Amino acid sequence: MCSGRVVVITGGGRGIGREYALEFARQGASVVVNDLGTGRDGSGDSTMSPASEVVAEIRAFGGAAVANGDDVSDMGGARNLIYQAVDEFGRLDVLVNNAGILRDRTIVNMSIDEWDDVIRVHLRGTFAPTHWAAQHWRDRSKSGGEVQGRLINTTSSSGLFANPGQANYGAAKAGIAAFTIIASRELERYGVTANAVYPTAVSRMTEDVFSRAGWVPDEGFNEFDPSNIAPVVVWLGSDRSSAVTGRVFGVRGGRIVVANGWEGGQTVDAARRWSPEELDQVIPDLVSAAPANAGTDGLRPNPGR
């Protein structure tokens, strides 16, 4: 499906990112596997070993891959990553932004460093590689070359549906969802699509959540296996997905969901300036008539309203 395509995957050394790298390679793509090798909270010494291990796996079954250890939240590091793909394989076709860390804390207990670090890695770590990839695609398009570019970002149900205890992570992931839709509109002129996924699977980022819930996989199909997410991302990265852009997909096991974004809802218009006192009834009536926000499972409590 992706024969001849060149793919960059950030956070590709472990978990879901590793599964992306392996599946893209199985489908014929040349892959740049980026991973800093730090703990899930971003701590520890940087090392290329996780990325190198994935590269070794890919080469063992005859695929083409190289490792990268740059920090994608740094503009220089992100540029190095994108142009490593160009230097090694001649161009870039697909960018999968998957790198992330966790520093979970309630708002009242969260430090400014815990806020800034998570926002930096997720949000700037999505922007920076995209910035350089977009420049590459723009330049190819302006020079008359055919571009079938694909940007695939990673958001989360925490950002879309508001999980308590993850204000930093959720805010970053909500920002990535909006960033994806903006990118889809800006990059369309260059032959690039932009979509996002919010995966549900066991990984380093989520293993303690599943552990606390006492979850044990049943025999047979494991709906929380991270490899289940890869086919959707690989399809989005192929040239078959050219008609799909600006969308956010939830993937869990064999289930694929298209998320519905914010939209204008219940409205009242006085065609003049309101007095504050008048709003005592107006705003409660508006809220009462509007559907409830989705819960953390992504479902509205009263979907018929």
Q: pLDDT of 116-173, one tens digit each? A: 999 999 999 999 999 999 999 999 999 999 999 999 999 999 999 999 999 999 999 9
pLDDT by residue (tens digit) across 17-32? 999 999 999 999 999 9
- Cα separation, 138 vs 143, in Å, equals 9
Taking the alpha carbons of 51, 56, 62, 68 in that order, is the dihedral positive or negative? positive
The C-alpha angle with vertex 232 and arms to 231 and 235, in degrees rounded to 5, equals 85
Residues identified as active-site = 156, 169, 173
> Beta strand pairing status for 248-252 and 255-258?
antiparallel
What share of the chain has pLDDT > 70, as a percent?
Answer: 90
> Beta strand pairing status for 149-154 and 94-97?
parallel
What is the domain partition of the chain in residue ranges? 6-258, 266-305
The C-alpha angle with vertex 41 and arms to 160 and 251, in degrees rounded to 5, equals 35
pLDDT at 37: 80
Are 44 and 14 a contacting pair, CB within 8 Å?
A: no
pLDDT at 44: 56
Q: In the predicted model, what is the mean pLDDT of the chain?
A: 92
In this predicted structure, the answer to whether residue 42 has a pLDDT above a threshold of 70 is: no
202 falls in which pLDDT band (50, 70, 90)?
Answer: confident
> What residues have CB less than 8 Å from 252, skipping those under 6 apart?
199, 200, 201, 223, 224, 228
pLDDT by residue (tens digit) across 176-192? 999 999 999 999 999 99
Q: What is the pTM of this model?
A: 0.91
Are 91 and 140 a contacting pair, CB within 8 Å?
A: yes
- Cα separation, 245 vs 185, in Å, equals 9
Fold assignment, 6-258: Rossmann fold (3.40.50)
Q: At what angle do helices 125-142 and 75-89 cross, to 10 degrees?
A: 40
- Cα separation, 1 vs 259, in Å, equals 25
280 falls in which pLDDT band (50, 70, 90)?
Answer: very high
